[in-house]
Amino acid sequence: MEENNSLVYGLEFQARALASQQAESNDVRFFVATQSLKPNNQLHIVDLNEDSSALQSRIFAHPYGEVWRLAASAHDSRLLASCYSLLKGTQVVMETALLTLPESLEPKDGEEQEFLAFENVEKLSTEGYGVEIRTTEFHPTDANQLACVVDGKIVLFNRAEAATRVVAEINAKNVPKFTTGRWSHFHQGNHFIALHECSIKSYDVRDPNHVVWSIDEAHSQLVRDLDCNPNKQCHIATGGDDGVLKVWDFRNTKEHVFARSDHHHWIWSVRFNTYHDQLILSSGSDGKVLLTCAGSVSSEAPEVITGDGGGGEQGAGTEPREHLADGLLQTFDQHEDSVYGVEWSTADPWMFASLSYDGRMIISKVPKQYKYQILL
């Protein structure tokens, strides 16, 4: 796949749910699910053959409802979590289910099916906790534990014990619900970070309603997404309706450590690169995907920066290594609608996918000049 030639994959229906393969990630694989009002929604598994630069897809029927969010398990390459809405009588309700893919994605001999079927569908019981399910997140280290953000609650599910418990709840009346949430990669997997209006709160799931830290008024408008830096403890990225991408060190909740205002509308998705965390992707309802460098606050930042540009560890006769400058590196503007999701590939650190509401998924690459500047 050439650096400037993005690959486009089109869906029959509108879509906003995108996830990348997390476990056993030898292949560049993305999952995308549709959001149609008709009862014929689909989940597409899209693989990239890097030798031929061709996309291969397998389509599963998702008759349970229109999909709002997908998450892939980091422990089981065949397990996904789907949050979807459906019509029951005259009411629209939301549910979440764990979808298990079959061991073989090839159709059985003699069978010609338009859609493949999941091997197992396990619906999680959320009825008693609320109405709106924002996300279901797999625990980073415990394969049996999931967190579900429902209205103003964070609900923990333990599949091994068939147990559920509420670990956080907004108790005030008439307070808006959580927007979304993610597990922290650190702290032994005991912290869950949730977005609420313009604020960010981290909860210790061992102690109900224990707020470890909070950043109030993190954005001037609603915060829509966050991601944790997998390589640098205490750093998170956020984006919201003010169109600002921010990086925070939550040991100091008073002020962000990095910010860019390159989007012209709401930011819907932010993602750190898993291997080179100075690279951050963001997408928004301005139809743009932006690649930003935040090298000065990344795990690969030079340890000492002096006024003359010399590094603290440089020898007397050596040239200081040139790092990528902070700021906007590239704008990807092939989409024609709001871009609700963007995800890095876990198999190839330079490749990512973005999904716009019109059902167009585009797989792109980091431009070579930035790749070589990071590696050399």
pTM of this structure:
0.92
Q: Is 375 strand, coil or helix? A: helix
Task: Give, in order, the Cα–Cα distances in Å from 12 to each of 42, 118, 132, 298, 360.
Answer: 9, 20, 26, 39, 9
Amino acid at 167: V
Sequence-distant (6+) residues with CB within 8 A of 197 are 175, 176, 179, 222, 223
Under 8 Å between Cβ of 318 and 338: no
Sequence-distant (6+) residues with CB within 8 A of 261 are 242, 243, 244, 245
Residue given tokens 């005030």 in the structure block: 172
Both structure tokens of 368: 């070579």
Q: Is 355 strand, coil or helix? A: strand
Backbone angles phi, psi at 369, to 5 degrees: -65, -35
pLDDT of residue 320: 54
pLDDT tens, residue order, the chain (376 aa): 666 679 999 999 999 999 999 997 788 999 999 999 888 999 999 999 888 889 999 999 999 999 999 999 999 999 999 999 998 888 899 999 999 999 988 766 556 678 999 999 999 999 889 999 999 999 999 999 999 999 999 999 999 888 888 988 876 566 779 999 999 988 888 999 999 999 999 999 999 889 999 999 999 999 999 999 999 999 999 999 999 999 999 999 999 999 999 999 999 999 999 999 999 999 999 999 999 999 999 998 876 444 444 444 444 444 555 678 999 999 999 999 999 999 999 999 999 999 999 999 999 999 999 999 998 8
Identify the helix (H) or strand (E) that includes residue 95. Answer: strand 91-100
Task: Give, in order, the Cα–Cα distances in Å from 349 to each of 1, 25, 239, 353, 365.
Answer: 14, 11, 22, 12, 9
For domain 230-298+322-375, the CATH class is mainly beta
pLDDT of residue 303: 62
pLDDT of residue 112: 64
Domain parsing of the chain, residue ranges = 230-298+322-375
Q: Give tens-digit pLDDT for 124-139.
A: 999 889 999 999 999 9
Q: Count the residues in the chain.
A: 376
pLDDT of residue 26: 84
Both structure tokens of 236: 């998170």
